[in-house]
Structures are given as structure tokens and as C-alpha cells.
Amino acid sequence: MNDMMKDPMILRSIIMDHYKYPKNHKLNDSNEYIEKHMASESCIDDIRVQALIKNAILEDICFDGEACTIATSSTSIMSDLLKGKTITDARQIISEYRKMIDQKEYDEELLEEAVAFQNVGNQANRIHCATIGWDAIESLMEESEKQNG
């Protein structure tokens, strides 16, 4: 990976950019989309993630809700990164992302802008903010697989 992606200034600006101007930040009315509402007692983040999954491909991902910087930006980056991917590829990326969050060895290339969250483990009580959108998409993929037998 190029060294820019280690520069804290760059990583911060990635997070801030996705917080101020989140991607795919609009829910869809179409009933082809499946939706997951993520809200918990321990946290004030309250978001809805939607996915349009056809033939095991994540054709569209979008989200909305009230959330902190970390939750908003990590979900925005997730939606950008996984859109258009197959479920299999998406699972691979998610698995690398989780390794990074757990401060283990991971494949930086696969994660692109998501490497901005490499230090979130410094604030252990905020790890769930960095994974809330990722948890949602994972459960939506499972739901879609169940629906399609």
C-alpha cells in the first residue's frame, strides 16, 4: 500500500469527508431492497442499512440515520467499497476489515479507504461504531441467501 495511507492527516480527512458528505446516504422505497435497522441501548447510533442483492451480487447499498462520525463514515465507506461486489468477495473484504479492527494482520489492498479505521481500537468503547454498518450488511447478505434457499 502506498505510504499516504499511513499518514494520520490523510486518514482523518477520509473519515471527515465521509462524515460530512456520506455516500449512498438515502434510503430507497423499492420493495426489492432488504433493510436492517441497527440500534442499541449501549450506543446512540441508530441507522438503517438497505441492500439490493440479485444473483448473489450487492447491486446497491444505502443507509440513513443518526450516528457519530465513526459510525457514519465507516458505513459510508463500507457502502462504497462493497457495492457491485459478489457476496463471496464482500465476505472476504469484511473479514479483512474485522482483522484490522482487532489489530491483527490484514490485507490493506482489499480495504482501500477503510484503512482509515485502523486505529479505532485505541478507543475500545468505539469499536462497535466502526463495525455497525458492516454488521448490518453481513446480516443482510445472510438474509438474502436464506430467501434464495
Partner 1 sequence: MLNVKKIRKDFPMLSNKSKKGHDLIYFDNAATTFKPQAVIDAVCEYYTSYSVNAHRGDYELSYQVDQQYESSRKTVANFIHADVKEIVFTSGASESLNLVAYGYGQKYLTEGDIVLSSEAEHASNILPWMKACEVTKATLDFIPLLDTGKIDVEAFKLKMNHHVKVVTLAQVTNVLGYVVDIQKICEIAHEYGAIVVVDGAQSLPHMPVDVKQLDCDFFAFSAHKLCGPTGVGVLYGKYELLQMSDPFMFGGGSNARFDMCGNILLKDAPYRFESGTPAIEAVLGMKAAINYIMNIGMEHIHAYELELREYLVAQMRQLENVVIYNDHNDSGIVTFNIKDVFSQDAATYFSDYGIAIRSGQHCAKLLMNKLNTSSTLRASVYFYNTKEEVDHFIKICSQINADTMLDVFF
Query: Terminus-to-terminus CA distance in the chain, angstroms?
Result: 39
Quickly tell me which residue has 465476505 as its cell. 91
| Contact flag: residue 112 with partner 1 (CB under 8 A) | no
Using rule CB under 8 A, residue 126 touches partner 1: yes
Task: Please count the other Cβ atoms lying within 10 Å of the Cβ belonging to residue 36.
Answer: 18
Binding mask 35-54 for partner 1 (x = CB under 8 A): --------xxxx--------
Instruction: For the segment 6-35, give every residue that binds partner 1 (CB under 8 A).
Output: 8, 11-12, 15-16
CA–CA separation, 8 and 115 (whole Å) = 11
CA 40 to chain centre: 17
In whole angstroms, the minimum distance from the beta carbon of 141 to partner 1 comes to 27
Window 57-96: residues binding partner 1 (CB under 8 A): 66-70
Spatial distance between the Cα atoms of 4 and 11, rounded to a whole number of angstroms: 9
**Which residues contact partner 1 (rule: CB under 8 A)?**
8, 11-12, 15-16, 43-46, 66-70, 119-120, 122-123, 125-126, 129
